[in-house]
Structure 1
Amino acid sequence: MSRLSPLSRRRFLGVGGAGAAAVLLGTGAWNASAAYAAAPSMGNPFTLGVASGDPAPDGVVLWTRLAPDPFVPDGSGGMPARPVRVEYEVATDERFRTVVNGGSVVATPELGHSVHPEISGLLPDREYYYRFRVGGEISPVGRTRTAPRAGSSLHELNFAFASCQSWEDGFFTAYDHLAAEDLDLVVHLGDYIYENGVTGQKRGTPAGDQFRGETFDLARYRLQYALYKAEKPLQAAHANFAWIHVNDDHEVENNWARDISQADTEPDQDPAVFRQRRAQAYQAMYENLPYRRAQLPAGPDMHLHRRIAYGDLAEFTMLDTRQFRDDQPCGDGTSATCTDRLDPKRTILGAPQRDWLLDGFSRSRARWQVIGNQVPMGQTDLDPGDPTEVYLDPWDGYVADRNRVLAAAQDRKVRNLVVITGDRHQNYAWDLKRDYADPGSPTVGSEFVGTSITTGGNGADMTADGQALLAANPHMKFFNSQRGYVRVTVNQQRWRSDFRVVPSVTTPGAPISTRASYVVEDRKPGVQAG
């Protein structure tokens, strides 16, 4: 099955909402005996859209969450406190003439009336369409794509990665443009929501009183996701592509580490209290994203590090740099004197996850080893002079772990190591060095740091901070501080990252442009202008 052209993708985006029922009328796809006449009359329950994720060669996980009144203050989405059966169908065409999979699942109040049916039995590297129904209400149509067969030869992969989408900082215009790209998947690297109170000042459209104050409990986390997921550009990006998602900090709380709260409003918080908060944040995250059963939280614990292969071309290794890390050294923040960051016992991954990562270096036969990473791995020296001043929350606060990972990539002969990263609200292209303390250290990989969708407001092409970073970090080849996402095209010979940016997020409808392109050549670690 051929990929959709950008034009046909835009046409596809029109198949949704109230129009979906008209488009699907008369296809004969629904089994009348499966209809539930007793389904509640609730209006449109699909206000938060549909999504798919974690593609495999034989299937994907589908998602929706029923919420006819998504902003009701109790976080219920306006659903009754009882289970509701949800039907789903998967077809090879957007009009559902050829249905290849279907069934029903139960949406329960215990999981926010979300459903996550895992579809199998599909063909590898194929486009499929899916939809849900509750009673007489039909969801928007989603499009997804399975991964190629394991080990199969894949000529090219097209994807985008994004992160950091603060609702109050601007409009999600970048997702309108991302949804129109010709992609196989989207990787989201964290800060899908922000836990802070919402004023909407930069948008000029304040949220309701139920969004004031910081987010602490399950009802409020559900509300926060509802506010973000009600955005039509985000819904369009989810509906058009399978997503791979991993969280950073703001899905729970800023700069948290393992069982340790940042304690911004709750000094000396008991770790047990923070674990309770994390459990509720993780539950809401699961409820609102296309995760598989393997990611279903067990209290405050959630299995987020995982691998997803794309034939012999690429393997995505998604890391979790929050749940197992030591507390940030020297009180977090920045420092030019903190020696604790060099402590060989300090870890950002935890020993079991680090061993799992390094074992993957040895076993993987993929041409491109892609690490999905939340916080910058490369060194960020903030001042061109001496000594080296760095942020302590990212890998700069955990130098020994970074050195172990990058040395292992070289020693275990990873063919092409490329790290994709969010968090920073800036675009970087830079080289990964085996040891940044050694000026002669070899380049062992490449890292592309993507800017925010909205966080920080409009941003700028170049800033004084950017000039200082370029002067202080010779491994940094590119800096930009506008908003957008990174589009990636990777084939057997070359990786190309296009930094796609918008001039404004405080007014809707901004155009998109490619600010710069940087490439990595096969077997030549390090970035080059493309």
Structure 2
Amino acid sequence: MSLSRRTILLSGLAAGAAGATGIAGGTLPASAAPAPSRPPGRALAYPFTLGVASGDPDHEGFVLWTRLAPQPLAEDGLGGMPDRMVPVFWELAADERFRHVVRRGVVDAHAARAHSVHVELTGLLPGREYFYRFRVQRHLSPVGRTRTAPAPWSLPATLAMAFASCSQYEHGYFTAYRRLAETEPDLVLHLGDYQYEYARDTYTAPGGNPRDHEGPETRTLANYRQRHAQYKTDPDLQAAHAVAPWAVVFDDHEVENNWADDVPEAPDPEFPARRAAAFRAYYENMPLRRTSLPRGVDMQLYRRLRWGRLATFHLLDTRQYRDDQACGDGYQSCPEAAEPSRSILGERQEAWLLDGFRRSSARWDLLAQQVFFAQRDRDSGPLTVTSMDAWDGYLASRDRITRGWLAAGVRNPVVLTGDVHAHWASDLKLDYADPISRTVGSELVCSSITSGGDGADSATGTHPWLAWNPHLRFHNNLRGYVRTTLTREQLTADFDVLPFVSSPGAPARTRARFVIEDRVPGLHLTRDDPPAAARAAGADVDAGQRTVESETRRP
């Protein structure tokens, strides 16, 4: 009986992490090793402890990534590697057993970049699945699966895309990444808070933290490299990276909580150096193209990814160019939030996005970004009390973007969001003060992978804020991710949840399913899986509300 692709990839990652031999990872037989182009230097211990990844696919290529780290938690952030260049051999094949290798080559891993490598491939066939692996000396990496996007002029029948955010290592186990990998999506979006900056026990989940961060709060390049490495050692995260290409954008915790352009959370004369160090480590540890290579305190992260004429993803950066939060970072009733000059994207990125709307011929235009887009008023009275860290703190900016997609005739605008540690689904309006105003788009918000701990289930419609925010259609405070299936006729969004993350091995289930029909803005609930009776009886809506209220506050 032949092995399934899922069996090979997921079991192979475990073998690679353990340093086993064979196709997935471990020691490469001498007969299979390519002849070295230069002396190999001293023998290394197994270097692929951080797994493999691919990203930013287009119709003729993608980026392949790995980083060498025999001792991934080394305090200097260099992973136990020697201070010298190491040649890394790579292979790309049309099959998972590498019987049909289509490309191979060698790339140098340098100590100055923490021995990370980014292989940027072009000239491949569009709409194809590929498999890849790396070799160093006699060591073979796990196998990764990736794919090119369809040809620009094609209209593919379907795209399976999943998105996730907010994986606080201390708050739980990354089982949700494993469950996401088991669904074998074509593409994964990560919308920010991939790693957290805190020292151990600084940010504590309800019930306590089942795991600890290594090292101090991240401030230096060595700190950020070590923290990224700790996260990458998780086998569930490695599985999610290896199953499909990723497209990533950062939010705040990749640098520091609630930072805004050059303004840190608290006054800090060293913040420019901290930001530059965080950006450098982020690039080193993500499958990004060379166009995103940081230049000091600047990093080009907003970009587009096209999936033929079926979908265009506008990946946004809502941190690097925003005005400072008005009236503080939390929930406020703040007239300053409505000032016309305020922007969460900055003038250049706004213009780039609006131009993208005008040029788009896609069936679906998806804004992959970090913070809540729809209005989310926490006050049932006459005041509008909203988060100043989200688009609610930048009202004119949100209005310009919304009117921009309307003026451009965007066929199906959908906003994809992370950050808030809970599942939400929203209809988007031009005028949130008028509950019967026209719906002009949809927002899908994924819960966290772990941030906030186990969370709690509750019946749909029980969150109190929904009563005076009728455009908010769904909320659930369990951990999980969102799976989407895009076709020419509709977008289906499955809100998958796990009952717990405080211990490993939880199953996943689809808590709710929404459908967006082509040319019909707004969400249609087609599946609502209620909580189990015992959990529903003990559901604490107030606890869920407190979790939402504290999302943008530093613990």
Fold match by TM threshold 0.5: yes
SS at match of 1:164: coil
Greater shift, 515-524 or 28-37, is seen at 28-37
Residue ranges of structure 1 left out of the alignment (5+ in a row): none
Aligned pair partner of 2:441 in 445, 460, 471: 445
Shift of 1:269: 2.2
1:183 matches 2:185: yes
CA distance in 1, matches of 2:171, 2:465: 24
Aligned pair partner of 1:243 in 228, 233, 246: 246
Contact 1:39 1:135 in 2 (8 A): no
Aligned pair partner of 1:219 in 212, 217, 222: 222
Greater shift, 213-222 or 439-448, is seen at 439-448
Contact 1:87 1:133 in 2 (8 A): yes
Greater shift, 456-465 or 519-528, is seen at 456-465
Aligned pair partner of 2:511 in 489, 510, 515: 515
**Aligned residue pairs: how many?**
516
Residue 52 to residue 472, structure 1, CA distance change in 2 (3 Å): same
Deviation per CA, 1:206-240: give whole Å up to 9, x if none: 444xx2x3210000001110111100000011011
Contact 1:20 1:139 in 2 (8 A): no
Contact 1:193 1:225 in 2 (8 A): yes
Contact 1:107 1:113 in 2 (8 A): yes
RMSD over aligned CA atoms reads 2.1
Shift of 1:274: 1.4
CA distance in 2, matches of 1:134, 1:275: 36
The amino acid that maps onto 1:269 is D
CA distance in 2, matches of 1:55, 1:428: 28
Residue 30 to residue 298, structure 1, CA distance change in 2 (3 Å): farther
Matching of residues 79-478 of structure 1 within 5 Å: 79-199=81-201, 202-208=208-214, 211=215, 213-263=216-266, 268-270=267-269, 273-336=270-333, 338-462=334-458, 467-478=463-474
Determine what percentage of the aligned residue pairs are the same residue: 51
Contact 1:20 1:140 in 2 (8 A): no
Contact 2:294 2:300 in 1 (8 A): yes
Deviation per CA, 1:49-83: give whole Å up to 9, x if none: 00000001111100000000001111110011111
Deviation per CA, 1:229-253: give whole Å up to 9, x if none: 1000000110111000000000000
The amino acid that maps onto 1:136 is R
The amino acid that maps onto 1:298 is R
Shift of 1:41: 1.4
* 2:550 corresponding residue in structure 1: none
Greater shift, 163-172 or 35-44, is seen at 35-44
CA distance in 2, matches of 1:316, 1:100: 28
Output the TM-score relative to the length of structure 2: 0.89
CA distance in 2, matches of 1:6, 1:103: 28
Residue 35 to residue 398, structure 1, CA distance change in 2 (3 Å): same
Residue 399 to residue 466, structure 1, CA distance change in 2 (3 Å): farther
Deviation per CA, 1:120-173: give whole Å up to 9, x if none: 121111111111111111111111011001120111000100000000000001
Contact 1:87 1:103 in 2 (8 A): yes
CA distance in 2, matches of 1:29, 1:50: 23
CA distance in 2, matches of 1:6, 1:498: 28
Contact 2:47 2:70 in 1 (8 A): yes
Contact 1:23 1:95 in 2 (8 A): no
Residue 465 to residue 323, structure 1, CA distance change in 2 (3 Å): farther
Greater shift, 175-184 or 24-33, is seen at 24-33
Shift of 1:187: 0.3
The amino acid that maps onto 1:316 is F
Deviation per CA, 1:283-339: give whole Å up to 9, x if none: 000011101100100011000000000011000000000000000001221112x10
Residue 418 to residue 464, structure 1, CA distance change in 2 (3 Å): closer
CA distance in 2, matches of 1:466, 1:69: 48
Contact 1:517 1:529 in 2 (8 A): yes
* 1:482 corresponding residue in structure 2: 478
Contact 1:10 1:180 in 2 (8 A): no
The amino acid that maps onto 1:262 is E
Contact 1:488 1:497 in 2 (8 A): yes
Contact 2:50 2:67 in 1 (8 A): yes
CA distance in 2, matches of 1:388, 1:444: 21
CA distance in 2, matches of 1:223, 1:521: 45
Residue 20 to residue 490, structure 1, CA distance change in 2 (3 Å): farther
Deviation per CA, 1:432-475: give whole Å up to 9, x if none: 11132444532111000100000000001239996222112100
Residue 99 to residue 442, structure 1, CA distance change in 2 (3 Å): same
SS at match of 2:241: helix
Contact 2:221 2:281 in 1 (8 A): yes
CA distance in 2, matches of 1:22, 1:297: 35
CA distance in 2, matches of 1:492, 1:22: 38
Aligned pair partner of 1:48 in 47, 50, 71: 50
CA distance in 2, matches of 1:6, 1:180: 15
1:506 matches 2:502: yes
* 1:21 corresponding residue in structure 2: 22
Greater shift, 379-388 or 394-403, is seen at 379-388
Contact 2:326 2:336 in 1 (8 A): yes
Contact 1:171 1:203 in 2 (8 A): no
* 1:493 corresponding residue in structure 2: 489
Shift of 1:204: 3.2
SS at match of 1:477: strand
Residue 401 to residue 29, structure 1, CA distance change in 2 (3 Å): farther
Residue ranges of structure 2 left out of the alignment (5+ in a row): 527-555
Residue 412 to residue 381, structure 1, CA distance change in 2 (3 Å): same
Shift of 1:38: 2.3
Shift of 1:198: 2.4
SS at match of 1:419: strand
SS at match of 1:482: strand
Shift of 1:182: 2.9
Contact 1:344 1:400 in 2 (8 A): yes
Matching of residues 37-76 of structure 1 within 5 Å: 37-76=39-78
Contact 2:24 2:142 in 1 (8 A): no
1:10 matches 2:7: yes
